[in-house]
Every structure is written in structure tokens, then in C-alpha cells.
Structure 1
Amino acid sequence: MQIGAVKRVRLGELPTPLQEMANLEKVLGGPRLFIKRDDLTGLGTGGNKLRKLEYALAEAMELGATAVVTTGAVQSNHAQLTTAAANRLGMKTFLILKGDKPHQPSGNLFLDRLLGVEEIRYVAVPSDSGKEEFESLLQNEVDRLMAELRKRGEVPYYIPNGCKAIHGALGYAGCVYEIVGQLRAMNLAPNYIVTACGTSGTQTGLVLGSILYGQGEIKVLGMSVSEKRDKL
């Protein structure tokens, strides 16, 4: 689905399936529950980041980017999927990961290398630093790497962890469009959409999609995976 004139590059196998969770419904005694299988987007190990990257990397291509820089944790799904997507589009990927360099790559870090990441840098988290201080250290490393790449003749494009809010919103507004259509084919309409919430891009898009395709009647519930209740 295309939203207005915003450019998008197709990377995923969309729409993803919508599956009913019949056994869980029985345990809970209702209501009807469905799961949107965005783990089956068809690139890398799947996941919610691909919908966002379709817009972020379309912008990168429009700007003539030859390299993509992004950040994340050592086992970041976002970093792994960005590497896979940029590789498919012929762009180099440079990762700046939060934490110490492990002795042996495993999990997503192993996949980053398998998928052809160009370079990985690590920014250790000082034990005495606050969140804002560490984010400043991380941004300094991003700025340093971007400048180095320009000197090498690359055209770098920076994707923040989780993608820009606008790209997350566009990607997941499209997801609501799919959900509404899939349920309509069953003569159903969604009441609630529940999602994990980290950088809020996915939830923002779901709220936008509710307004655009659900007349604002679909309630969106976000479950924080990054902040405690007293900080929200």
C-alpha cells in the first residue's frame, strides 16, 4: 500500500498473514484473538523494522546514498534487518553498536557478518554515565563515522535506531490497512491492536492507521519494553 506521494521501496512479502489464536482464546474464554505475523516479512529474520525500512531506504536511494549507518544494541534486530535490506539494494552497511565487543559473535551479530556488514564499531556504556550522556557519546561516534565515510567518497545515510518516527508511522499505518482488510474478509472489525513499544514508531503508525482506516475506533495499546512505569 502506498500512502500519498511518499516514496517506498518494496522489500517485504506483504501483506503478512493474520492468524487466529484459537487455543489461547479457549484458555481465556474469549475474546477472539489474532496475531499479525510480521515475523514472516521475508527478509533476514523478519520483524517490524522492515515496514519502516521500506520508507527509510527509499529516501536513502533518492538521496543517492552508497552507504547506510545505523545504531542499536549488540543483538539488535534493527541492525540485522538494516544490513539485510541495504545489502539487497546494493548499499554498504556500517553499524555502531551499544556495548562491549564480544569475544565470539553470536545471534544477530553473527547474522550481521553473514549478511555482509561492512564494518561494526562498538561504544561501551560507561558505568557512571546517564542515558543522555551516553546518547551524546553515541551521536559523536555516528558523526565521526559519517565524516570518515564522506572523506572516502561514500554518500552515507543515517538511520537512527528503530528508524525515523515518520518512517515508522508510514510503515505501520500500512499494517493497519492490511489488518482491517483481512478482518473485513471474515466479516470482522478490530477493537484493539496491542504492540510492544520501544522507540514508539510502530505504535505511532498504528494510531495513524486507526485514524485513516478504522475511523479512529481501533484502540492501540503499547506495552513498553524499554522504560519502567515511573518513567513513562
Structure 2
Amino acid sequence: MDGELFPRERARIAPGAVHVPDWLDADRQAGLLEACRAWASPPAGLRTVRTPGGGTMTARQVCLGWHWYPYAYARTVVDGDGTPVKPFPDWLGELGRRAVADALGPRAATEARYDIALINFYDGDARMGLHRDADEQSDAPVVSLSLGDTCVFRFGNTETRTRPWTDVELRSGDLFVFGGASRLAYHGVPRVLPGTAPAGLGLTGRLNVTLRVSGFTGAPPRSVDAPARFPGGG
């Protein structure tokens, strides 16, 4: 927030999991927001995700590169308008590699070839249950970028949705990267703080841009333990 007495410092939340405050400056936040607005428009635009049990996610989502749906990936929006998924731009992959290098060091970014983006939009009442990003074949780090309203991001352990976990405040422009021993940690968003977005950004609500490496060489498989997990990114 503007006028803070002490600047926020980067923090190691768990092995391989790092929070970097204010990683995107105001201009880069505005540029990423403009891109998100274009991606959210139809076809293959922002949609409500429905789970196999008949429930719906409160955060709405659009995908790039590969289309995620519970609990698999496809090249078309199979649970929406059926159109081809929007392409994953090279510049976004480069942004992901820079993020990993800054958070975890250059060696961690060497083999990361990002080809999936999940963009989640949260209004004031939206949230995301604890889940793991486990539908990919690659163990490359996950990159999470926040725009707009502040949220409480809950980062847990790799074994269970229960404690121990750490709650982290993610504000607009913040970066969170998790890989290595924390790549399959449970995480979620129990709360969004409405009205906390930067005044000059022009966004009501929160956008989360999550980048992943698929590791797919052909058609991606459906997860065998799908009913035990929930969708999304951070």
C-alpha cells in the first residue's frame, strides 16, 4: 500500500516457494491487465467452470495454450463454446522464466518452457478451495501473478488440505512462485479484500495469472485421481 512505513520484503514461505512483493510495476500491471481483457473476450473467453459433481467455481476463468477443465486439458473449450483455446504468447512465457529466475535463481528457469496460462477473475465474494496443480506432466515451477484487489493466499503442505499452512497477503503486482519440494503443495484463496486494488489500475476485483509447463508431447491424459481435487490457480 502507498505510504507504508516499511517496504515489504520477499519471503521464503516453504522450500521452493517464494513471495516477491511488487514484482510488476504500475506500467507492467496495466499492460498485463489490457492483455487479460483481450483474452477474456469471446470466443474461448471468460467462463464459469463447472465441476463433475454439478458445482461451480466462484472465480471465473479463461485459458491460454491448453484449455483446463475438471480434471484434464484439451485444445478446445470442451466445457464452453467449443472453440479452439487462445494461443499462449511467447512474451508471457518469457515473463514466466524471468519470474522463476528472480524468485528461485537462474538454474530453476533453464528448462521452464511455459505453455499454459490460467487466468482467474475473482469478484468480492469469490474464493478458491485448497487444491493442487497436478494435471500437468512437468514439475517446472508454477508462476502466479496478481492484479487488482488484495487476497489472502493460503499455501499449505503436499500431503493434506489441513494444517500446516501459511496465509500470505498477495497485492496487485505481487509474484508467487512454487516449485521443487513445494510444486504439489495444496493452496487456495479463502478471501478477497474488495476495494483494495490500486486506484490507477482501473480494475474492480482480482485477476490471477497462473503460468504452468504442461510437459505434454501428445494428447494430455485425464487425471486418475480427479475427484479428489479442486480446480484453479492461486
TM-score normalised over the length of structure 1: 0.25
Q: Which has the higher strand share?
A: 2
Higher helix fraction (1 or 2) = 1
Q: Of the two, which has the highest radius of gyration?
A: 1
